[in-house]
Chain A
Amino acid sequence: MVKKKCVAMLLAGGQGSRLHSLTTKIAKPAVPFGGKYRIIDFTLSNCTNSGIHTVGVLTQYQPLVLNSYIGIGSAWDLDRRNGGVTVLPPYTEASGVKWYSGTANAIYQNLNYIEQYDPEYVLVLSGDHIYKMDYSNMLDYHIQNEAEATISVIEVPWDEASRFGIMNTNDDLEILEFDEKPAEPKNNLASMGIYIFNWKSLQKYLDQDNLNEESSHDFGKDIIPLFLNEGKRLMAYPFEGYWKDVGTVKSLWEANMDLLAENPGLNLFDHSWRIYSRNPNQPPQYLAASSEVTDSLINEGCVIEGKVSRSVIFQGVSIGTGASVHESVVMPDAVIGKNVTITKAIVPGDITVPDGVTISPADGNEEIILVTQELVEKLRKDVTA
């Protein structure tokens, strides 16, 4: 194998259980986002745009859709003769199947994969977040600061800091301590789950951690403290810009709505940092004479005959005459019938909402409705009754 300077390991096994029915059949990184993408597209595009072309994608939970989606990586220009994208599912050994028991364990079980490229640095990523970031800048920072490990951090509001893994640093952004979801946070720099390690050190501490039966084999909780205990230099890399964990129905909806701002924090139209995805290859969208579309993102293959406002509509969706879709996200190939009213909802792919149905939160309810097949069946009966 040709030696690589930096190999990326993308953790994509997340179940995303707080996304409920959206993740019963697919892993969280495969959840549709932004009218055309899946969540993992952002991290994969960041890799390719940062010039990191060797990416191991670690899958575990419901990997079928994700595996076939990634394929040989050509959508992200990661089909490479040397390196490229490699899907790394758990595998069987003579002693039995070893599931990934934690983020660090997932990497530990794939040390062989990294070893074949003999890299100097390993970039550990998560496939759960929406953001644009040039990892090559972070790598430069890591090298300039002669760090053993660098963790990308983002400032979060103080009152939310206890929801995150917090890095306590000195004024030079050297990390002194890692606090996982602290009750009384001492800092507001949250870990983004993006790590750069010197390969030799990482190898050593992963081996050590593997022998520790008490360990939960988690990067934040177990590996970082090992570095700190031995006085290794760990740096926080401050990231400024849009970054969002879309782990709940509400946050997934919010992140979609964020794209509709006049100048969104995350610009999908920036040709210098394109977000790549598997192309559905459908004809252009058709907006009928009866349509009324404002403040929305709509993807190819849609047929819009109703009203759409402040919404994100994925490819192949049809919206019937007299229908009104407001502040909602409609995922691929869903069918919104005639005279349907939908407000503040996420409609998963392939769902058909029958004619005349209304889906809206009760007054004062801030919850976002996740439309399910059961809900649709119930509403269908209500309409016909």
Chain B
Amino acid sequence: MSRLLGVIDAATVMGGLQDLTLNRSVASIPFAGRYRFIDFVLSNMVNSGVDSVAIFPKHQYRSLMDHIGSGKNWDLDRKRDGLFFFPPYFEPNETTSIGSFSRLEQHIEFFKRSHQDYVVIASSYVIANIDFEEALAEHLIHDYDITEVQHNGKSLEIYVISKALLIELIEGRRRSQFISVSDVVKQPLHNYKIGAYDHKDYTAIIDSIPAYLKHSMDLLRHDVWSRLFTQDRPIYTKVKDEPPTKYSSTAQVSNSMIANGADIRGSVENSIVSRAAKIGQGSKVKNCVVMQKSQIGNDCSLEYVILDKDVRVLDGTSLKGTAEQPLVLRKGSVREAAMVKS
């Protein structure tokens, strides 16, 4: 049985990703054709043997709850331990800093009741394949109070801490003035022994729209996806029961990642196409991310465009962004040729 308790702090707000977070939290932004951001850290926890995971959402968490459900897809629908969803009580000025003590305090019973002695507190948006058991081993060898998981010296806002210290910090927060685990790590003046665990393998932090597109494109590199999607540490997600993808006689696909249930009749190059998306005949899609159930009609031309879910691009539409400024079509929106010409 794992000694680690998992906490995913899904309260993060990222201004740079606003176009994709109008109806959802950062944690539930779709990525890599069939996943959501949170799938990576949640699967990492499960693959590290963590049996009990608590998710602390804050904003717009309907889509997150819908995605996670009972935790069945992560094998977390358990009688003992399993998945816990802890929505916040209303606190207007509450911090979104990772591991917020006031947010954790609202559900402190969870920590007190759990049998695990250590806690991994993680942000919801790191795209990586991390073994938290290794981070815990590092934490124990060096006798750190808090271990920060880093990649090339940059914080991933993932922390390993003993449960006893976490409860002490939560309960003493009014006296100490520390607002979160992340805050303790950043403050220089205290006696806690802060250490770092360097996750050397592939890691992406997506904090802006251009970064979203860049990291999506990176998935097309063999050295990236082969390290992110391994057979022994798979990334789990909500199952959708889509059929295999259908390619017509006019399909032309090159260097692209295509999810199930898609219907490809046009040309797709350097792109990510998600579940049940449609690309019409004569259309050219290049350097794009097409999210779930979006439909591109016939004879369209799209370059550097991110289509959120359920977007419809009508026949003959041309849209062009750039790598630095990709065009984002918001969830459920409709684009037609006339709108571009005017």
Contact = CB atoms under 8 A, between A and B. Distances in A.
Interface of A: 34-36, 74, 262, 268-269, 274-277, 279, 281-289, 291-300, 312-314
B32 A297 contact: no
A277 B243 CA distance: 10
A295 B32 contact: no
A36 B260 CA distance: 10
Contacts of A297: 243-247
B243 A286 contact: no
Given A287-B253, A312-B244, 5 more contacts: A283-B33, A284-B259, A289-B255, A294-B249, A313-B244
Nearest to B250: A294
B225 interface: yes
Contact of B246 (A269, A274, A275): A269
B263 A269 contact: yes
Contacts of A282: 229, 234
A252 B250 CA distance: 26
Contact of A281 (B33, B236, B247): B236
B254 interface: yes
B258 interface: yes
Contact of B257 (A275, A286, A289, A292): A286
Residue from the set A35, A262, A269, A312 with the largest chain B CB neighbour count within 10 Å: A269
Contacts, number: 98
Given A36-B244, A277-B241, A281-B239, A295 B253 contact: no
29 contacts: A35-B243, A74-B72, A268-B244, A269-B246, A279-B239, A281-B237, A281-B239, A282-B229, A283-B229, A284-B34, A284-B257, A285-B245, A285-B257, A285-B258, A287-B253, A287-B254, A287-B257, A287-B258, A288-B255, A292-B252, A294-B247, A294-B249, A294-B251, A295-B247, A297-B243, A297-B245, A298-B247, A300-B34, A313-B244
B36 to A, nearest CB: 14
B297 interface: no
A295 B220 CA distance: 23
A294 B248 contact: yes
A299 B260 contact: yes
Given A291-B253, A300-B260, A276 B243 contact: no
A288 B254 contact: yes
B123 to A, nearest CB: 22
Main secondary structure of the interface of B (DSSP, over half): loop
Contacts of B259: 284-285, 300
A298 B244 contact: yes
Contacts of B241: 274-277, 279
A36 B243 contact: yes
B255 A287 contact: yes
Contact of A286 (B72, B220, B251, B261): B220
A284 B247 contact: no
A309 to B, nearest CB: 9
A283 B255 contact: no
B25 interface: no
A284 B260 contact: yes
Contacts of A281: 234, 236-237, 239
A41 B239 CA distance: 16
A289 B268 CA distance: 10
Contacts of A294: 247-251
B129 to A, nearest CB: 12
B181 interface: no
A282 B34 CA distance: 10
Interface in B197-241: 220, 225, 229, 234-237, 239, 241
B256 interface: yes
Contact of B253 (A269, A275, A293, A312): A293
A288 B270 CA distance: 9
Nearest to B257: A284
Nearest to A308: B247
Contacts of B274: 284
Contact of B235 (A35, A283, A298): A283
A286 B258 CA distance: 6
Nearest to B238: A279
Contacts of A36: 243-244, 260
A293 B257 contact: no
B51 to A, nearest CB: 19
Contacts of B237: 281
A275 B260 CA distance: 13
Nearest to A313: B244
Contact of B254 (A262, A274, A289): A289
A296 B247 contact: yes
Residue from the set B34, B246, B263 with the largest chain A CB neighbour count within 10 Å: B246
Question: 10 tightest CB-CB pairs across the interface, nearest first?
Answer: A35-B244, A268-B243, A284-B33, A299-B244, A283-B229, A284-B259, A297-B244, A289-B255, A279-B239, A287-B253
Contacts of B235: 283
Contacts of B32: 283-284
B244 A34 contact: yes
Given A295-B247, A295-B249, A298-B245, A283 B225 contact: yes
A283 to B, nearest CB: 4
A300 B234 CA distance: 13
A283 B259 CA distance: 8
Contacts of A274: 241
Given A294-B249, A294-B251, A284 B244 contact: no
Contacts of B257: 283-287
A74 B253 CA distance: 35
Contacts of A293: 247, 251, 253
A288 B235 CA distance: 22
A127 B274 CA distance: 32
A195 to B, nearest CB: 28
B183 to A, nearest CB: 36
B17 to A, nearest CB: 22
